[in-house]
Amino acid sequence: MILLALALAAAASNVPELPKDVPASATMYDILLLEKPAGQMAVWPTPDGKLHAFFQYNDRGRGPKTYTTITLGPDGVPIAEETEGDDYLKDPIHETFAVKDGVASWKNKAESGSRKVTAPAFYVSMFGPPLDGALLFDAALRRGGTLPLLPEGELRVERVVRLPQATLVAGTGLDLQPSYLWVDDQGRFFASCCGWFTMIRSGQEAAFPALKDAQQKAETERSLSQATRIPKKPHGKLVIHDVSVFDAESTRLEPHRDVLIDGNRIISVVPSAAPPPDAQVIDGRGKTLIPGLWDMHAHVGPTDGMLNLAAGVTTVRDLANDNEELAARIARIDKGEEIGTRIVRAGFMDGPGPYQGPTKVLVATPEEAVHWVDWYADHGFVQVKMYSSLKPELVPVVAAEAHRRGLRVSGHIPAYMTAEEAVRQGYDEVQHINMLALNFMPDVKDTRTPARFLEPGRRALDIDLGSEKVRAFIRLLQERHTALDLTLGAFETFYVDRPGKVAVAFAKVADRLPVQLRRGLFAGGLPMQPGDDEKFRASWKRMLELSHALWAAGIPIEAGTDSFPGFGLQRELELDAEARIPAPQILQLATLGAARIMGMDKDFGLVRPGKLADVALIDGDPTKDISQVRKVVLTIKDGVLYDPADLYREMGIAPR
């Protein structure tokens, strides 16, 4: 592992400058994204008894910058808090909370409310700094481990492990899994390790490896418990009886079939009859059996496996991750120590600079590019994904070496290039609908910045789908057999969601989610200037029309999310339907189509004898209404049974 102290010195140019109004006496914390410096948090008291925090980081030109003032009550619970600044997408925010005369009131751009309080209750801010979490955990520990939350809910905390440097504390009630924080002997915030995001007290970087290892051990023990309790292995043969089978090749239903599974393979698919007397039988009457779904744009995290399997997703393609952590996760899944899907790995690379992506693989020369392509090929990756800060002149270098090693090539379109140029220089696939829209806005040069989101939102409505430029681009995609990973759901959120209203993509499941997680669905999408609301909606409609035109031209469309696992894929398929792709063809592209693109259709993508037993049983007919994919009642991966209700309950999600 790269020592954090070295990483801090290597990438300081990406760290935003600390404002001069932060006092020198403040306690400082370093923020890192994938162990690369990205920002700071500063905490300091003032003589009036108030606590102040400054919080900022740079994530590819995005990231919050906020000032927070907190007044603590005698029990350590805030009685007033105010946050000003910009949120992650650079939208101005002003969030307030106060308790007065026994009434707690709060307001931010997503919500406002009040509640009478007769005992301490902790307001969980939407836009406050990570310091809030440390104060919350400390207050809960003072009260014996539980604390009511505002607007709703309850936090339960416990000390997990103590190291010489700090103590790991776990809290449940905020998310789908425990939230972890490291605190010192005085209960003060010491560090946080959460996926790609790390924060640690300045000067304590040498402690990070021990903290990370101890937290991973705690998380692994929890995963092992889940993997022991939830999956069910059939005892002998398994028959799904009298079910309608979706044939992803012909896109037709085969009614009244018995599907026999033995071990991890499908043995037969035959007209329904009396099942073998020694087989475990699952009643398939009135239901549809489809091949396991694929999510072709994932960034796998701790709960992704359970969320995906609950939604019938049995395979995902990971398009950017910490290579070491992903390899460890795959090993645990393969050994049955963690619940997870099959994971197909794509190697991620970018160029160094102020907008560099969250990766340790940063290349600036042809030699570095070739080295990392070869490293990915040697370590079992099947694809290389390039990102926005990569030098355009390195694209053909990466593509040539990747193709020589048998790897697919895809990515964002690097800044100062167009999608047409990237395809001509070797892209087999393009990520994201906005990258396609930008092909028709060649004046938008620096797409490392948020302009790559904002300009398509403001200008895609002007794309003439009947123009020669659009037709020529489609012909190029046809000639090069280029696939498209549109991630429509992610961009629906950007262009359609508005503060104070539930995210359109998750409106159907919002009430099932844990309350503190559900609140985030009301934050809205991209920041808007006057006139943007109408433009964003019109541009979004045009992007759906472009998606239809691409599909109608025979361009391979993928089902990828870059969003909330499981639920995000369900919405992605619904958006394909809104783009006027027929439901049977949507099911095909999300199963057999994905397997063929990845060259894995020998074992996947069809419910047929000899194929691996990766299937999903749906209580309905998704060939008539694609939204029926939300009604998964059983997922089978590698012959092992997963009950969605069990998986959802484990994460605090109400079963369907």
* Pairing relationship of beta strands 483-485 and 557-558 according to DSSP bridges: parallel
At 13, is the pLDDT very low, low, confident or very high (cuts 50, 70, 90)? low
Residue 493: closest CA among 551, 564, 545, 546: 564
Tokens of 72: 């603590």
Tokens of 445: 């040069």
At 8, is the pLDDT very low, low, confident or very high (cuts 50, 70, 90)? very low
* pLDDT (mean) for 127-144: 94
The answer to whether residues 106 and 97 touch, using CB atoms and an 8 Å cutoff, is yes
Assess whether pLDDT exceeds 70 at residue 526: yes
Q: Residue 153 gets which letter from DSSP?
A: -
* pLDDT (mean) for 108-127: 95
pLDDT of residue 38: 92
Tokens of 282: 């699952």
Assess whether pLDDT exceeds 80 at residue 7: no
Write the secondary structure of 35-52 as one string of H (helix), E (strand) and C (coil).
Answer: CEEEEEEEEEECCCCCEE
pLDDT of residue 358: 86
| 529-554 residues labelled b (16+ CB within 10 A) or e (exposed) | eeebeebbebbbebbbebbbbbbeee
HSE of 588 in the Cβ direction (CA atoms, 13 Å)?
15
Q: How many CB atoms lie within 10 A of CB 406?
A: 9
Assess whether pLDDT exceeds 90 at residue 435: yes
Q: What is the pLDDT of residues 484-503, one digit of tens each?
A: 999 999 999 999 999 999 99
Q: What is the pLDDT of residues 361-396, one digit of tens each?
A: 999 999 999 999 999 999 999 999 999 999 999 999
At 194, is the pLDDT very low, low, confident or very high (cuts 50, 70, 90)? confident
Assess whether pLDDT exceeds 60 at residue 618: yes
Tokens of 135: 């104060």
Domains and CATH numbers, the chain: 4-229 (no CATH), 293-602 (3.20.20.140)
Alpha helices in 358-500 (DSSP H): 366-378, 395-404, 419-424, 433-437, 451-459, 468-480, 488-496
Q: What is the pLDDT of residues 52-92, one digit of tens each?
A: 999 999 999 899 999 999 999 999 999 999 999 999 999 99
The answer to whether residues 161 and 214 touch, using CB atoms and an 8 Å cutoff, is yes
Name the packing angle between helices 532-552 and 451-459 (round to 10°).
90
Mean pLDDT across the chain: 95
pLDDT of residue 157: 96
At 195, is the pLDDT very low, low, confident or very high (cuts 50, 70, 90)? confident
pLDDT of residue 196: 83
pLDDT of residue 1: 33
DSSP string, 307-353: HHHHTTEEEEEE-S--HHHHHHHHHHHHTTSS---EEEEEEEEB--S
The alpha-carbon radius of gyration of the chain (Å, integer) is: 25
Q: What is the dihedral of CA 626, 627, 630, 631, to 10 degrees?
A: -80
DSSP string, 531-557: THHHHHHHHHHHHHHHHHHHHHTTPPE
Assess whether pLDDT exceeds 70 at residue 532: yes
pLDDT of residue 3: 33
Sign of CA dihedral 467, 469, 475, 477: negative
Sheet holding 429-431, edge to edge: 429-431, 483-485, 557-558
CA separation, residue 508 to residues 176, 505, 520, 617 (Å): 18, 8, 15, 20
Q: SS3 for 65?
A: strand
Name the packing angle between helices 395-404 and 366-378 (round to 10°).
30
What is the pTM for the complete model shown? 0.94
Q: How many CB atoms lie within 10 A of CB 204?
A: 18
Tokens of 286: 């009135």
Tokens of 271: 């007209």
For residues 314 and 371, give the distance between their C-alpha atoms in angstroms, rounded to a whole number.
32
